[in-house]
């Protein structure tokens, strides 16, 4: 019985010494996604990619508004049959613009998610690189309720990604 107790105490002490030397780091992913130079590049790339479609949609909206204003001015003087035709035309134009807007937003979100996935891959590689270079045993991010500033290596990861 004493032998089992002493063995348990020795194993417990050994496990404490192993954990006492554990080097842990924490990375604040949200900060990286906001401050990494790649984020600015992604935003510029997406803006350039979707600029033409966005400008076309804005022009379509202006044209619809102009047609609606003209219809409102002329609605008292035109025939009912012509009025009905113009209302249908304006409604169809409005539906088309809403569809284009929805498609643009969906396409933009898909591309943004693709770019962010690539950035996440770069972040993971940077975390692995910094962790190996500095001898970390464990690096955590996402889902951490609290992390002491002493173990926050976010700025090191940003530096690794190219932010000065």
Max mean pLDDT among 21-30, 75-84, 86-95, 133-142 falls in: 86-95
pLDDT at 7 > cutoff 80: no
Cβ of 135: how many Cβ atoms within 10 Å?
Answer: 8
Residue 130's pLDDT is: 92
The pTM of this model reads: 0.71
Residue 13's pLDDT is: 44
User: How much is the mean pLDDT over the chain?
Assistant: 86
Residue 145's pLDDT is: 78
**What is the rounded CA–CA span in Å between residue 64 and residue 91?**
10
> Are the beta carbons of 79 and 29 closer than 8 angstroms?
no
Using DSSP, state whether 19 is helix, strand or coil: helix
pLDDT by residue (tens digit) across 57-103?
999 999 999 999 998 998 888 888 888 999 999 999 999 999 999 99
Q: Which residue has the higher pLDDT, 1 or 50?
A: 50
pLDDT at 164 > cutoff 80: no
pLDDT by residue (tens digit) across 100-132?
999 999 999 999 999 999 999 999 999 999 999
Cβ of 141: how many Cβ atoms within 10 Å?
Answer: 19
For residue 5, the Cα-to-chain-centroid distance in whole angstroms is 53
Which one is the CATH code of 2-161: 3.40.50.1360, 3.30.310.50, 3.90.550.10, 3.30.910.20?
3.30.910.20
Between the two ends of the chain, the Cα-to-Cα distance in Å is 61
**What is the rounded CA–CA span in Å between residue 164 and residue 159?**
6
Mean pLDDT of 37-52: 94
What is the maximal distance between C-alpha atoms in the chain? 106
Residue 12's pLDDT is: 47
**Residue 113 has which token pair?**
């998610």
């Amino acid at each position: 019985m004493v032998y089992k107790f002493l063995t348990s105490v020795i194993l417990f002490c050994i496990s404490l010494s192993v954990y006492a030397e554990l080097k842990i780091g924490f990375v604040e992913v949200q900060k990286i996604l906001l401050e990494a130079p790649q984020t600015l590049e992604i935003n510029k790339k997406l803006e350039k990619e979707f600029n033409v479609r966005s400008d076309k949609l804005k022009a379509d909206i202006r044209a619809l508004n102009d047609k609606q204003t003209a219809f409102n001015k002329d609605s008292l003087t035109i025939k009912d049959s012509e009025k009905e035709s113009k209302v249908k035309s304006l409604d169809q134009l409005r539906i088309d613009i809403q569809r284009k807007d929805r498609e643009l937003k969906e396409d933009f979100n898909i591309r943004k998610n693709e770019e962010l996935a690539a950035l996440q891959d770069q972040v993971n590689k940077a975390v692995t690189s910094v962790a190996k270079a500095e001898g970390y045993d464990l690096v955590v991010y996402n889902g951490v309720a609290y992390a002491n500033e002493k173990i926050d290596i976010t700025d090191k990861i940003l530096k690794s990604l190219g932010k000065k």
